[in-house]
Chain A
Amino acid sequence: MNKTMLTLTLTTVGLLTAVATGLAISDDDHREHRRSTTPRADVDPVTNSFYAEECGSCHMAYQPGLLPARSWNVIMTPAALADHFGDDASLPDESREAIGRYLSANAADFSDKKRSRSFAKAALGEMPDPAGGGPRITENRYFVRKHDEIPLRLVTGNPEVGSFSQCDSCHGRANDGVYNEHDVVIPGHGRWED
């Protein structure tokens, strides 16, 4: 009797394990599939058309979730905008304040998106420096860590890219807030695999 019980128990445990493993594998497959075909935004896309128009006329309209609010607030001061990383990006006060409000309200530290959280966490304790335009996304510690294996010749030395600030040169869906590393294609080089 005891022997039968033991056999039954072992069989049940075995079956359950097999089913659980099967589920785990299919779930993994599903996730892998979704990742390679329709990656979801890991930073909330830009939703403010005024910001997209005003700032996007010179450079990619970076998602607010790429910097914490206090960094955006420094970038959007009149003095910082007048020397905006080497350009004059001065705005009338009304526009400047409207854009500033959008950026800080949707900043990395107010986002629940995974990658925005990482940007916010990495910027903790940093004092945004207003010199030369203010803090740069490309100098955020999380950003630097995520890009430190890429040889400079493929970015700054690559005439088709030129700078780490050109997100959409390699992240084809950067404008949709998709920065998945499996989606990276470096112009003149090809797919980037870690």
Chain B
Amino acid sequence: MTNRSRLASALVTTGLLTWSAWLMAGDPAAGAAAWVKEYPQADGSPARSCVSCHGRELTRPGSQVNTGKVIKPLAPSVEPARLTDPAKIEKWLLRNCRWTLGRECTADEKDDFISYIRTQ
């Protein structure tokens, strides 16, 4: 093995380890608990949680609470495309944390949500 190829394989291994560390980082149980946590709204509108639009059962479709538009199930077991596009994950976590919690989620909270969804 040349030095160069050794370096390359070391880099690939590191990359894979980082990737799997990221995948394993969250706590699915914490994510499941956060999923149903309700946040009262100051303007008198109904309390919000992830369940408001996605429902409790992630293998089933949800429904956008304001427009009624059907949301495909979040569970990768029934929608394999879920959690495959990092930009899409970030976009929705940003929007949905702001709308539901009234603030952006921390990196740990996001990891918990992702790891919970991944188990579904």
Residues on A close to B: CB < 8 A? 57-60, 82, 85-92, 162-163, 165-166
Contacts and interface: CB of A to CB of B under 8 A. Distances in A.
Contacts of B71: 57
B99 A88 contact: yes
Contacts of A166: 67-68
Interface string B91-112: 1001110110000000000000
Given A59-B67, A87-B99, 19 more contacts: A57-B71, A58-B64, A58-B66, A58-B67, A59-B64, A59-B69, A60-B69, A85-B66, A86-B66, A88-B95, A88-B96, A88-B98, A90-B94, A90-B98, A92-B91, A162-B68, A165-B67, A166-B67, A166-B68
Interface string B23-54: 00000000000000000000001000000000
Interface of B: 45, 64, 66-69, 71, 87, 91, 94-96, 98-99
Nearest to B95: A88
13 contacts: A58-B64, A58-B66, A58-B69, A59-B69, A87-B95, A87-B99, A88-B95, A88-B96, A90-B91, A90-B95, A92-B91, A165-B67, A166-B68
B101 to A, nearest CB: 11
A129 to B, nearest CB: 19
Contacts of A165: 67
Contacts of A86: 45, 66
Contacts of B64: 58-59
B66 to A, nearest CB: 6
B105 to A, nearest CB: 13
A88 B45 CA distance: 15
A60 B99 CA distance: 20
Contacts of B91: 90-92
Contacts of A90: 91, 94-95, 98
B98 A82 contact: yes
Nearest to A54: B91
Nearest to A82: B98
A162 B98 CA distance: 25
A76 to B, nearest CB: 15
A58, A91, A162, A163 — most chain B CB neighbours (10 Å): A58
A90 B95 CA distance: 6
Contact of B66 (A57, A60, A82, A87): A87
A55 to B, nearest CB: 11
A92 B95 CA distance: 11
